Amino acid sequence: MKEIDFNNQAWGQIAERQYVWFRQALLDGVHLLNPYIQDELGNLSGKSIIHLQCNVGADTIVLAKMGKHAIGVDLVPGNIFYAKKLSDDLGVTNIDFIEADIMKLAEKHHEKYDVVFVSEGAVGWLPDLKKWGTAIRHLLKDDGFLYVFDTHPFFLMFDTDKLANGIMDIQFPYFGKDPDVDCSLGYTYEMEKNTKAYFWMYKISDLINSLTSAGLHIEYFNEFRELFFNAGGMSGHDKEMLFNYDFNNDKFPSTFSLKATVYNK
């Protein structure tokens, strides 16, 4: 079995639990798109949006409400099943979901969109960012844009158990090429025995070069102290979904955002 098949199996195990959690979060009015994302995305009215690695579609639902139409893409059949159920539950109709591996999306899906959206725990599950960049260019209209908000690779290096106690210790090398194999997906959910989940370290240069070589122009690259989940020992705002260590006023970034447009039309 390949790494992506293992990841498919691992994410499939938690699809129903994610559906239950996100359904409640949407009903409770949790800001699933945090204030940085909301601010940087701006007004999406009238726009068609494709949301890559949409999980059970909660953010896709928020995006559909902001734009004309949203389509979510995910590798895992269970995620697509629960994404459709979640949008049905909430009566959202300007939305679709498709099951696909982002690494193969450019070969299979030929619609063009105003916005490609990627966020929060997405990039590291992809083994080849060159293919990611090519897929994004393929999906964008010539006047469209890509928006990404994800974990900063600087933060990904640290042992978070130690960070919770204020100790900064590099566990995962920045230039590491082999994927990290874990028996969980970083959630507290209990997983089946023999679960394997493969996560690839990405560098800032990987992010930028994969997009520019696909014909995109980076409009901005921003860095933020806060993370989008509590990695342990963090303070934060559950409703805003932004968390940070009390000691990290100015030490390191936990997340980044970037916006890119098409220059090679």
Ligand X SMILES: C[S@@+](CC[C@H](N)C(=O)[O-])C[C@H]1O[C@@H](n2cnc3c(N)ncnc32)[C@H](O)[C@@H]1O
Residues that bind ligand X (CB under 6 A): 4, 7, 11, 53-55, 58-59, 74-76, 79, 101-103, 119-122, 125-126
- Comparing every residue's Cβ against ligand X, the nearest one is 121
Residues 6+ apart with CB under 8 A from 181: 196, 197, 198
Q: How many CB atoms lie within 10 A of CB 62?
A: 19
Copy the structure tokens of residue 117: 């959206």
- For residues 177 and 181, give the distance between their C-alpha atoms in angstroms, rounded to a whole number: 12
Cβ 143 to ligand X, closest distance in Å? 25
Smaller CB separation from ligand X, 125 or 158: 125
Phi, psi (5° rounding) for residue 189? -60, 140
Nearer to ligand X, 167 or 183 (CB): 183
- Please, which residue, 64 or 168, has the CB nearer to ligand X? 64
The Cα–Cα gap between 225 and 83 comes to 30
Provide the minimum distance between the beta carbon of 220 and ligand X in the complex, in angstroms, as a whole number: 20
CB of 204 to ligand X, least distance (A): 20
User: Smallest gap, in angstroms, from Cβ of residue 106 to ligand X?
Assistant: 12
Report the residue number, 75 or 165, with the smaller CB distance to ligand X.
75
Q: Which lies closer to ligand X via its Cβ, residue 188 or residue 249?
A: 188
DSSP state of 103: G
User: Do 94 and 68 contact (CB within 8 A), yes or no?
Assistant: yes
Q: Where are the beta strands (DSSP E) in 54-112?
A: 69-74, 95-99
Other C-beta atoms closer than 10 Å to the C-beta of 6 total 16
- Rounded least distance, CB 259 to ligand X, Å: 17
